Structure 1
Amino acid sequence: MNAFFWISYTILWLLVVPLVLLNLVLFRQLGIMVMGTARGVNQSGIPVGRKLPKAETSTLYGKPWTTEALYGNSAIMLFASPTCKECARILPDFGAVAKQYGVKPILLLFATAAQGQAYMHAMEYDEEVLLVTPELAERLDVEVTPFAYAVDPGGMIRHKGLVNSREQLEAYVRAARAS
């Protein structure tokens, strides 16, 4: 009886651990799907059709920056993190897609200046990078990465939500230019 108990106990744990991991993966995918729908997108971020609020931060090298610097340009703002695998996967396409469509790429990192500089060097990203402070994240209502806003020349948000592919990046830059 004792041997049977330990064998069944071991087998159950061998089944439970992969099931827990599978559930975590499924919850992540469900989150991506919900955030990609109108219902999920409307629950996060500044509503589409509203003006981007005034907010300030700095570049990786300490130069001040404000959202008012976007006025007059179509832009795509991508919020990323050095620990986000999806961010690293789409970052090479980010600058290329923005240039292809003539939209200003604004990369905002949830990182310290030192972490951001190391990450940008590793990713070989040459465009200007901004740091996300807790105040900026709260002001722009961003909690997850990779999250993006498509902003028209008047500072209005035209599209928002999670971005996980080149096709989604293209949809954002087209929305920013559609004004």
Structure 2
Amino acid sequence: MTALWIAVAALAILAIVEALAILALAREVGLLSRRLPAAPALESLEGMEPGATLPALRLADARSGRPSSPDLGSRPAVVLFMSTRCTLCADLLSELDGVVKDWPDHAIVPVLSGPAEEARAMLDRSRFAGQAWQDDGAAMRAVGIVTTPRAILVDTAGVVRSRGVVNNREMVSSLIQGRVRTGEGAVWVEGDSVSSAS
């Protein structure tokens, strides 16, 4: 019976040591990931080609449900297409106030694709204080986007300058700066950044 207790105690000690090792590895991975630079937006083959003109989008205000279209004024814009059923999109929507603060000379246009109730609920759950629009899917089809989250950068004339997959605030900023990563890995495409002066 003592041998059994010794074996149980040894296994318990081994389990505790393994748990501590796993925690140490998790901490190390976290520290390493904080040292990595933010990845730029991933080039997307979906959506309108750079050089094309963004069509007028028929949308609704995501909060009120009234028909509305984004007023871009004389600013370049990042039109972000997000699905109401996409967790990554919900996280990105929560980060957009930071993008608005980082890029005050750009219009940030979140378009939530899905039923109006889902768009309103997604917006209510997020921390985004700005205006957002709801799309029944027609706007996404009009610009050739199938999957989300996707972004299209347009200049003051409404001409598409860049497009990409954006999963977080840093990727949106990289798209605005003209840095887009191709699908082949370490290849970088440097585009023209779009400022309000263009």
Structure exhibiting the larger radius of gyration computed from Cα positions: 2
Within 5 Å, give how 1:13-162 maps onto structure 2.
36-37=42-43, 41=44, 43-60=45-62, 61-66=64-69, 69-102=71-104, 103-162=106-165
Deviation (angstroms), 1:86:
1.6
Which deviations, in whole Å up to 9, do the C-alpha atoms of 1:139-176 show, x marking residues without a partner? 12111111001111111111112112332111223334
Answering whether residue 195 of structure 2 is matched by residue 177 of structure 1, we say yes
Which SS does the other structure have where 2:171 is aligned?
A: helix
Q: What corresponds to 2:167 in structure 1?
A: 164
Contact 2:54/2:158 (<8 A) preserved: yes
Contact 2:53/2:159 (<8 A) preserved: yes
Quick check: 80-89 or 143-152, which moved more? 80-89
Q: Tell me, which stretches of 5 or more residues in structure 2 are unaligned?
A: 1-40, 178-192
Q: Tell me, which stretches of 5 or more residues in structure 1 are unaligned?
A: 1-34
Which SS does the other structure have where 1:161 is aligned?
A: strand
Which deviations, in whole Å up to 9, do the C-alpha atoms of 1:39-91 show, x marking residues without a partner? xx2x3100012111122121121333336x32512111111123212212322
When residues 46 and 138 of structure 1 are mapped into structure 2, their CA distance, relative to the original with a 3 A threshold, is: same
Letter in 1 for 2:164: G
Aligned mates of 1:164, 1:126 — CA distance in 2 = 19
Which SS does the other structure have where 1:70 is aligned?
A: coil
TM-score (norm 1): 0.69
Aligned mates of 1:83, 1:62 — CA distance in 2 = 18
TM-score (norm 2): 0.63
Q: How many residues align?
A: 140
| Structure ranking higher in helix proportion | 1
Q: What corresponds to 1:12 in structure 2?
A: none
Which SS does the other structure have where 1:106 is aligned?
A: strand
Aligned mates of 1:134, 1:113 — CA distance in 2 = 11
Letter in 2 for 1:77: V
Aligned mates of 2:121, 2:73 — CA distance in 1 = 30
Q: What corresponds to 1:25 in structure 2?
A: none
